[in-house]
Amino acid sequence: MPLYLGNISVDGENEQESGRFALSWLTLRFRDRKVERAYAYNDIHKALPLIRLSLCLGAMLYAAFGVLDYLSLDGALHQVWAIRFGIVVPVVLLTAAATLWKEFWRYAQLILGIGMSTAGLGIITMTAVIPPPTNAAYYAGLLVVVIYGSTLARMKFHISAMISICLVAAYNIVALKLNPIPLPALLSNNFFLISATGVGIFGSYIQDLYVRFNYVSTRLLIEEKGRSEQLLAESEAANHAKSEFLAVVSHELRTPLNAIIGFSEFLKMEMFGPLGSNRYKSYSEDIYRSGQHLLHIINDILDLSRAEANKLEVIEEKFNLGEMIDGCLRMFRNKAAEEGIRLSYKISEELNVQADQRLMNQVLINLLSNAVKFTASGGAITVTAFSDENDCCSIRVTDTGIGIAEENILRVLEPFIQVESATARSHEGLGLGLPLVKRIMSLHGGEVRIESTLGEGTTVTVTLPGWRRAEWGDQIDPGAGNDTGEGSGEAATGAQGHQDLSNVGS
């Protein structure tokens, strides 16, 4: 029964994904040959520094035991040194040198297996030629070889296990037949040798399993990252296509809509004579108002889509903020009077800026439109323009309307989002005004700040950076505000529900 690594459930692909990383429980090899090949390449290349270091240190350790040969052997010293220095050490060093070969990963297990087998057989051969009772002590070298080969040489589990078992069997053949070791000493040697072999095999199994599990986890993370990046690219492409589509559709809709508004205005004003019935005049006024409302929405969609597609350009020009504010307020004077809303403004000083006047005009229009829409009869709207100690120019629009809950302040800056409440649903609009304000101010390097208390009112402040301040133009009287509407009431700013949205669009 195979082991499964990487159980993933994505659209019913669990079985397929598990099959890719199925392991043989006995050999710890991936059943998929392509996966096993990729793993072998990756594992060997990552472990090359450790393999080289282990082989070089192993050769030095093997050579260092030559000192013990000299101190403990009375006979067969030359034969032992010939095996140690003439065969084993050179083979281990050649194995280390082979790791520099670029194709080493293909034959790594064979080359490492030869190195381990040569080192182990060297100890066994020494045991065969050393006279008793010294030959009984040389099993200790075999312990080192088995542990080294199982854990440090990065050999696959099944190969190191097979070589270790063969070396233990070969040692027992020599100890029993070729150069017999006393039975008590042989039993003692086998106890430690078999225990070390078992521990080495188990350690090799766990290490190989862990490394393969880590490889599978890494592969799955890389694949998931690739899929996520692909989905992100597709999402961005879809968003870009959406913006392009909105721009094209808005442009195509606006052209005939202008004609509808123009002709309905002719009918409303009876420019070519009376319509004959008051109903027709009422209908023409409805057509005109609906057309104007629809045109405003289309213009917002068009500008927002251009901003999202990075096609909304800032055309720099110098203008006076006071004149711009006065012009915008005149547009809302009649609407505010009809609704019974007090509309006023105050400019504390002459404020000349360098920015896109059309876009800044649209910012103020959107803010005033929201303020009028959400302020009940008898309320007040105040527009204030001022500069701070950093020469930053700000426009503040304060109303006494329904306000915004603190948790919804960030939401109202997202396109097509309106706060879900019975009061909000009773007002028209697609929720494009503040998102467009955020985009435009971001293009100017500016800030947007909203302060609001639910049921008391809202204050929206837009700020241009100080480097956009310009000193030129006609002087204006920095006096108090001028009433441009009717009604009464005091402007209120919410002390609660405050959130700083500086540079929120950048």
| Dihedral-angle region of residue 418 (phi above 0 means left; psi in -120 to 50 means alpha; beta otherwise) | beta
**Alpha carbon distance 487, 336 (integer Å):** 9
Predicted pLDDT of residue 497 = 40
Q: Label residue 496 by pLDDT band (50, 70, 90).
A: very low
Which one is predicted more confidently, 398 or 474?
398
Predicted pLDDT of residue 90 = 93
**Alpha carbon distance 9, 208 (integer Å):** 25
Q: Angle 422-425-426 (CA atoms, 0-180°, nearest 5)?
A: 90
Edge-to-edge strand order for the sheet containing 457-464? 482-483, 342-347, 380-387, 393-399, 457-464, 447-453, 498-499
Q: For the domain bounded by 317-473+481-499, which CATH number is listed?
A: 3.30.565.10
**Alpha carbon distance 157, 268 (integer Å):** 91
Predicted pLDDT of residue 199 = 85
**Alpha carbon distance 324, 469 (integer Å):** 15
**Alpha carbon distance 421, 3 (integer Å):** 55
Q: Label residue 498 by pLDDT band (50, 70, 90).
A: very low
Say if CB 98 and CB 59 are below 8 A apart.
no
Under DSSP, the state recorded for 414 is: S
Predicted pLDDT of residue 464 = 93
Predicted pLDDT of residue 499 = 40
Residue type, 491: A
Give the residue extent of every domain in the chain. 3-229, 317-473+481-499
**pLDDT surpasses 90 at 198:** no
Which residues neighbour 356 within 8 Å (Cβ) at sequence distance 6 or greater?
314, 315, 316, 317, 440, 443, 444
As a whole number, mean pLDDT of residues 478-500 equals 36
Helix residue spans in 270-356 (DSSP H): 278-308, 321-339
| Helix, coil or strand: residue 352 | strand
Phi/psi of residue 464, nearest 5 degrees? -95, 140
**Alpha carbon distance 154, 198 (integer Å):** 17
Residue type, 357: Q
Sign of CA dihedral 423, 428, 430, 433: negative
Say if CB 449 and CB 460 are below 8 A apart.
yes
* CA count, 13 A, side-chain hemisphere, 448: 23
**Alpha carbon distance 190, 186 (integer Å):** 6
Element (H, E) at 453: strand 447-453
**pLDDT surpasses 50 at 430:** no
Element (H, E) at 202: helix 183-269
CA distances from 371 to 34, 336, 358, 383, 403 (A): 66, 10, 20, 10, 10
Element (H, E) at 385: strand 380-387
**Euclidean distance between the first and final Cα of the chain, in Å?**
56
Say if CB 301 and CB 253 are below 8 A apart.
no
Predicted pLDDT of residue 244 = 67
Predicted pLDDT of residue 454 = 87
Element (H, E) at 344: strand 342-347
Sign of CA dihedral 263, 265, 268, 274: negative
Compute the residue count for the chain: 506
Predicted pLDDT of residue 463 = 93
**Alpha carbon distance 112, 98 (integer Å):** 10
pTM of the model: 0.45
Torsion of CA 92, 95, 100, 104, to 10 degrees: -160
Tens of pLDDT along 238-291?
777 766 666 666 666 766 777 777 777 777 777 767 766 677 767 777 777 677
**pLDDT surpasses 90 at 460:** yes
Q: How far is CA 358 from the centre of its chain?
A: 37
Say if CB 493 and CB 451 are below 8 A apart.
yes
Say if CB 376 and CB 457 are below 8 A apart.
no
Predicted pLDDT of residue 283 = 72
Picking from 88, 89, 90, 66, the residue whose alpha carbon sits closest to that of residue 78 is 66
**Alpha carbon distance 269, 273 (integer Å):** 9
Predicted pLDDT of residue 58 = 86
Predicted pLDDT of residue 385 = 92
**pLDDT surpasses 60 at 506:** no
